[in-house]
Amino acid sequence: MTDFFSAIPKAELHLHIEGTLEPEMMVALGQRNRVAIPFASVEEVRAAYRFTDLQSFLDIYYAGAAVLREEEDFHDLAAAYFDRAAADGVVHAEIFFDPQTHTHRGIPFAVVVRGLLSAIEGAKARHGMTVGLIMSYLRHLDEEDAFATLDQAEPWLDRLVGVGLDSSELGNPPAKFARVFAASRERGLRLCAHAGEEGPADYVREALDVLRVDRIDHGNRCLDDPLLVARLAREAMTLTVCPLSNVALRNVASLDVHPIDRMLNAGLRATVHSDDPAYFDGYVAENYRAVAAARGLSREQVVTLARNSFLGAFLSDEALAGHLAQLDAFVRG
Ligand code: HPA
Ligand SMILES: [Zn+2]
């Protein structure tokens, strides 16, 4: 469907490339690579997607990633994503990948990155899309493992824009990764961290104070803490909010009570993204469309979300100005 929500130019800032593995591709790659998955059909895969919390999702998400083995697999996964993103009005994407999910299965770091980088070249050529790659540390593993991952990334550092922090949040506070985030910053990488998705507002504060992040992924739970909200607004800190994910993982009861407009009204630089769209039933335009309908967002509020996505991106001043001009031209029609 091409409508206002898919046409408006936007940046995707919160997307796990492993979370774009559609059931059809999971089954096809399982066959291509002779990797057994615990599902007999595409329908069985889909039927398994009934999550009760973050961990129940992560268990299936990591199991599904087992079909990704060859450079070509990572290429095909990302190329399919970029085609969908282009159709959704994404002109700039900063995508997460989870190296440890693959290196722990014996897949070399270089295989993953080479596949993703060749798909990125294709997205530039086919869609004129610009793409940044963000290496995300798995927080359920220890900091030493994250340091080993940073070492493996050394030959590729100029191809990465930043690092992130994802996986099981509760019990794995940001401070656990203080040293590896400092080391990542010293290598010129930008920093983001998932915080306040399931974890408390204090994890958001820790991501700011201890990790010194440039961007917060999710951040919803900041709303429990008015002083923190005021600070995030004052610092113009971007929060990459994922409405369909929030509902699928039961962090928000339903879209009808999603706080996206509360966040905007509080002066927060909130943006809307898709997280793991193959698992949560909707890419970025569908996230815009669904939350706008459920919350009755005005056209102006939707434009603010798109503008915030560019303001929160890791773009040069020149590239940012170009995207904002493109958005303004779109709004003027
Ligand atoms: O929503 C998420 N939260 C934490 N880790 C993740 N890894 C993929 N998606 C997510
Ligand atoms: Zn996420």
Question: How is 178-227 classified by DSSP, letter by letter?
Answer: HHHHHHHHHTT-EEEEEESSSS-HHHHHHIIIII--SEEEE-GGGGG-HH
Q: From the CA of 58, which ligand is nearest? A: 1
* Distance in Å, CA 197 to ligand 2 centroid: 9
Report helix, strand or coil for 280: helix
Residues with CB under 6 A from ligand 1: 16, 19, 54, 166-167, 194, 197, 245, 275-276
Q: From the CA of 167, which ligand is nearest? A: 1
In a domain, 40, yes or no: no
Contacts of residue 122, Cβ cutoff 8 Å, sequence gap at least 6: 79, 82
* Distance in Å, CA 69 to ligand 2 centroid: 22
- Determine the atom of ligand 1 nearest the C-alpha atom of 136: 7
Sequence ranges of the binding site: 14, 16, 194, 275-276
Predicted pLDDT at 223: 98
Sheet holding 190-195, edge to edge: 10-12, 90-97, 130-138, 162-166, 190-195, 215-218, 238-241, 269-272
Q: Check if 197 is active-site.
A: yes
C-alpha dist (Å) from residue 16 to 167, 187, 333: 11, 22, 32
Predicted pLDDT at 1: 62
* Distance in Å, CA 331 to ligand 1 centroid: 32
Predicted pLDDT at 218: 98
Residues whose beta carbons lie less than 5 angstroms from ion ligand 2: 275
Ligand 1 atom 6: residue of nearest CA: 167
Ligand 1 atom 7: residue of nearest CA: 167
In a domain, 107, yes or no: yes
One-letter amino acid at 146 equals: A
In a domain, 173, yes or no: yes
- What would the pLDDT profile of 65-97 be if each residue is shown by its tens digit? 999 999 999 999 999 999 999 999 999 999 999
In a domain, 282, yes or no: yes
Question: Residues 18, 71, 197, 286: which is the catalytic one?
Answer: 197
- Determine the atom of ligand 1 nearest the C-alpha atom of 169: 4
In a domain, 79, yes or no: yes
* Distance in Å, CA 274 to ligand 2 centroid: 8
Percent of the chain residues topping a pLDDT of 70 = 100
Sequence ranges of the binding site for substrate: 276
* Total domains in the fold of the chain: 1
In a domain, 195, yes or no: yes
| Pocket residue to mutate for ligand 1, from 12, 274, 276, most atoms within 8 A of Cβ | 276
In a domain, 42, yes or no: no
The residue segments making up the domain with residue 103 are: 4-21+73-332
In a domain, 49, yes or no: no
Mean pLDDT by runs of 10 across the 333 residues of the chain is 92 98 96 92 92 95 96 98 98 98 98 98 97 98 98 98 98 98 98 98 98 98 98 98 98 98 98 98 98 98 98 98 98 94
Contacts of residue 76, Cβ cutoff 8 Å, sequence gap at least 6: 25, 29, 119
- What would the pLDDT profile of 106-157 be if each residue is shown by its tens digit? 999 999 999 999 999 999 999 999 999 999 999 999 999 999 999 999 999 9
CATH code of 133's domain: 3.20.20.140
Report helix, strand or coil for 143: helix
